[in-house]
Chains A and B, each alone.
Chain A
């Protein structure tokens, strides 16, 4: 038995790296934790997975009742229910992923205090588990598209790109909040409020064109702006607003980098402070 792996244990220093290699080696753990999060999400509920359909459908109905009644937006010839549903598809994913991920350590205290593994796996598994609901949202969106005869163009092939951006954004914000939550339980109370404000600040139920031209790029510092606009352009065959998307993607990468740095600097102490 050749002992090839050497584990070195040292006092915590600055380890500013993603540790992707280690996460890759432990991908099976990531898989099982994601599977667990999906399996238990709707356990002990009356209607189970139907919630994954009801959540986007009911929200779309409410938005439609409010915003196509008296507050009309210029949705660029897209039927409002369809417009709202495209926004909600990505937004509800980000919202669910961030709220699940931010509580992931607090809900898995004994994983942190009793076993070692790359800590990033925990919020990452929560984010991946939220993809399960996204599948149902996409199905609802597809049904709506058929109903409104919205015929996609080859541009729809870019849809996955914006989904990946949304995933990275959710993972970054969720990871950052999960680390802060370990130390400050205030996060638990702040997250729902933060998500509410974030939704209002994102073009979920209104188009980005509502914001005057000169403020639009500043508006796009919220990565959700570029992601949602790009997603809609890809689906409805509209021209892409590249400067807007560019600002959002740069902001997204900065947020992700900051999240990783903060997470890395905090993770060593998790077992001691949780």
Chain B
């Protein structure tokens, strides 16, 4: 059973993250604490999960899902509120935590098992099962640095899958390995849920949430938006997602951002074929298609797009510089401008797009549609993206495929 009462997590931004002693000293001396920015990652979240229930947690990036799991896993304490969990807790926020490249598959099974909270006797008892599940019998005594990324993830997941706690907390770790292995992993998760364990499961994959969980909680901006059956919660979530998804159309001219010079009509994320694409492949070019109405005919109108990552960092800004409309006024009427982001440029993750139309001489912004659409760049593990054969965390806001030369 999991019982959460008013869980709140507030992160101090800026000063508290200072990593150098000098910053801490000067920060202390100047007493800038009052101007410190805070981020409320989780805001007064309460729920009760009964024994044997499987509950999915959904929500956009930054909605507080990971923070909730981290608090329940005791990795970080809540700022306010309490929670109690009855039963032995196993939490999987990542597979392969503590894996060391220099150690063999066998050594890593024991190390990772111990890190996940398994006793040595339990690992001994399940060792053969773990190895059989991973299908890596022949490579057990090979250091994992010689494994392919697929093999590495398979071994890591196999250890995790044999963790048998009474309460299991799982973050999106199923999306590893090839399709066949994913299916197998999902089956294992389903077994766990059906064997009377309490499972708390975060995923972006609405299909697996509906398949694995009877109930789902939707977190939005750190608060519970919907807590209901998985089917209902997923439906409510998807409904909102389509509103702020890859396409946005302003049907009603009066509510559309704009002034008496220009007004936005629609914004879409498209692929080369012109189809709306919420989750473009990292290797393909991505088009942002802006349709707007020019309401006057004597202004030079420059459409511009602003791209932000999940943390709100501006990745880049682009404006129409080469279409010829830079010098001459646009006639009144509907215009369609599309900006193409090359493939193998953006990193994985959700990117939100702010669209605007401006005039530069003199500077004037006619409208700005903030966070109007978003899309999620996905990097498959097929080996021909900049990721190569590496399957782990790859930070950075861009992921270009650079030319490497060797001599």
Interface residues of A (CB under 8 A from B): 1, 3, 5-12, 28-29, 31-33, 35-36, 39-40, 43-44, 108, 110-117, 183-186, 268-269, 271-273
- A6 lies within 8 A of B85 (CB): yes
**Contact call B21/A268, Cβ cutoff below 8 A:** no
What is the CB-to-nearest-CB distance from B165 to chain A, in angstroms, rounded to a whole number? Answer: 10
Chain B residues within an 8 Å CB radius of A33:
98, 111, 114
* Alpha-carbon distance between A250 and B11 when the two chains are bound, in angstroms: 40
| 5 tightest Cβ-Cβ pairs between the two chains A and B | A116-B74, A3-B87, A3-B86, A9-B83, A12-B77
B interface residues, Cβ below 8 angstroms from A:
1, 11, 16-17, 19-22, 24, 51, 70-89, 91, 93-94, 97-98, 100, 102-103, 107, 110-111, 114-117, 119-120, 166, 196
Indicate which residue in A5, A9, A272 contacts B72 across the interface (CB closer than 8 Å): A9
A7 and chain B: residue at smallest CB distance: B85
What distance in Å separates the Cβ of B29 from its nearest Cβ neighbour in chain A?
16
Q: Which of B81, B88, B91, B110 contacts A5 (CB 8 A)?
A: B88
CB distance from A266 to the nearest CB of B (A): 12
CB neighbours (8 Å) of A39 from chain B are 102-103, 107
Residues of B within 8 A of A115 (CB): 73, 75, 91, 93, 97-98, 115-116
Chosen A-B contacts, 7 in total, with CB atoms closer than 8 Å, are A3-B51, A9-B72, A11-B80, A11-B81, A115-B75, A115-B116, A186-B20
Partner of A273, one of B17, B79, B88: B17
Alpha-carbon separation in the docked complex, A9 to B3 (Å)? 10
Q: Which residue of A lies closest to B16 (CB)?
A: A273
Indicate if the CB atoms of B85 and A1 lie closer than 8 Å.
no
Residue numbers in B under 8 Å from A40 (CB-CB): 100, 102-103
Q: Bound complex: CA of A110 vs CA of B96, how far in Å?
A: 10
Q: What is the CA–CA distance of A8 and B89 in the complex, to the nearest angstrom?
A: 11
Known: A5-B89, A9-B72. 18 other contacts (CB 8 A): A7-B86, A7-B89, A9-B71, A9-B82, A10-B82, A28-B114, A28-B119, A33-B98, A33-B114, A35-B111, A39-B107, A108-B98, A116-B91, A183-B19, A186-B20, A271-B70, A272-B11, A273-B17
Nearest residue (CB) in A for B93 is A114
Chain B positions within 8 Å of A11 at CB level: 77-82
Chain A residues with Cβ below 8 Å from B111 are 32-33, 35-36
Task: Enumerate chain A residues within 8 angstroms of B102, measured Cβ to Cβ.
Answer: 39-40, 43-44
Q: Closest A residue to B115 by CB, please name it.
A: A115
- Nearest A residue to B96, CB-CB: A110
A44 closest partner in B (C-beta) = B102
Q: Are B70 and A117 closer than 8 Å at their CB atoms?
A: no
Query: In the complex the two chains form, what is the Cα distance from A7 to B83 in whole Å?
Result: 8
Nearest chain A residue, comparing its CB with the CB of B88: A5
B75, A6: Cβ atoms closer than 8 Å: no
B89 close to A36 (CB less than 8 A): no
A44–B103 CA distance with the chains assembled, in angstroms: 12
Q: Are A117 and B73 in contact (CB under 8 A)?
A: no
Bound CA–CA A3/B75 (angstroms): 22
Shortest Cβ gap from B73 to chain A (Å): 5
Instruction: Give the residue name and chain of the B residue nearest to A32 (CB).
Output: B114
Chain A minimum-CB-distance residue to B83: A9
Q: Is the CB of B77 within 8 A of A113?
A: no
With A28-B120, A29-B114 as contacts: A7 and B75 at CB distance below 8 Å: no
Q: Is the CB of B76 within 8 A of A268?
A: yes
Contact B84 A110 (CB under 8 A): no
Of all chain B residues, the one with the shortest Cβ separation from A182 is B19
A46 and B120 alpha carbons, distance in the complex (Å): 33
Residue from the list B75, B114, B120 in contact with A114, Cβ < 8 A: B75
**Which of B16, B75, B79, B82 lies in contact with A113, CB distance below 8 A?**
B75
| A8 B82 Cβ-Cβ under 8 A | yes
Is A114 a contact of B97 with CB atoms below 8 Å?
yes
Q: Would you give the shortest CB distance from B50 to chain A, in whole angstroms? A: 11
Contact of A116 among B22, B75, B80 (CB under 8 A): B75
Query: B116 to chain A: which residues have CB within 8 Å?
Result: 115
How long is the Cα–Cα vector from A5 to B2 in the complex, in angstroms? 12
Q: How far is the CB of A261 from chain B (nearest CB, A)?
A: 18
C-alpha spacing A115/B129, complex, angstroms? 23
Q: Enumerate chain B residues within 8 angstroms of A10, measured Cβ to Cβ.
A: 77-78, 82
B-side contacts of A108, CB under 8 Å: 98
Q: Are A1 and B91 in contact (CB under 8 A)?
A: no
Contacts of B1 in A (CB 8 A): 3
Q: Which residues of B contact A269 (CB under 8 A)?
A: 76
Residues of A within 8 A of B98 (CB): 33, 36, 108, 110-111, 115
Which among B86, B100, B115 has the highest number of chain A CB atoms within 10 Å? B115
Please indicate the chain B residues that have their CB under 8 angstroms from the CB of A112 in the complex. 75
Cα of A51 to Cα of B1 in the assembled complex, Å: 52
Q: Determine how close the nearest CB of chain A comes to the CB of B23; give it in whole angstroms.
A: 9
Minimum CB–CB distance from A267 to chain B (whole Å) comes to 10
A111: chain B residues at CB < 8 Å are 97-98, 115
CA distance A267 to B81 in the complex (A): 19
| A7 near B70: Cβ-Cβ < 8 Å | no
Q: Which residue of B lies closest to A29 (CB)?
A: B114
Complex-state Cα separation, A271 to B116, whole angstroms: 17
Complex: A111 Cα to B120 Cα, angstroms = 19
List of B residues within 8 angstroms of A184 by Cβ: 19-21, 24
Residue in chain B with minimal CB distance to A8: B84
Q: Find the residue from A11, A44, A114, A272 having the highest chain B CB count within 10 A.
A: A114
Contacts of A1 in B (CB 8 A): 87, 166, 196
The verdict on A9 contacting B75 (CB below 8 Å), with A40-B100, A115-B91, A273-B16 known, is no
| B89 neighbours in A (Cβ, 8 Å) | 5, 7
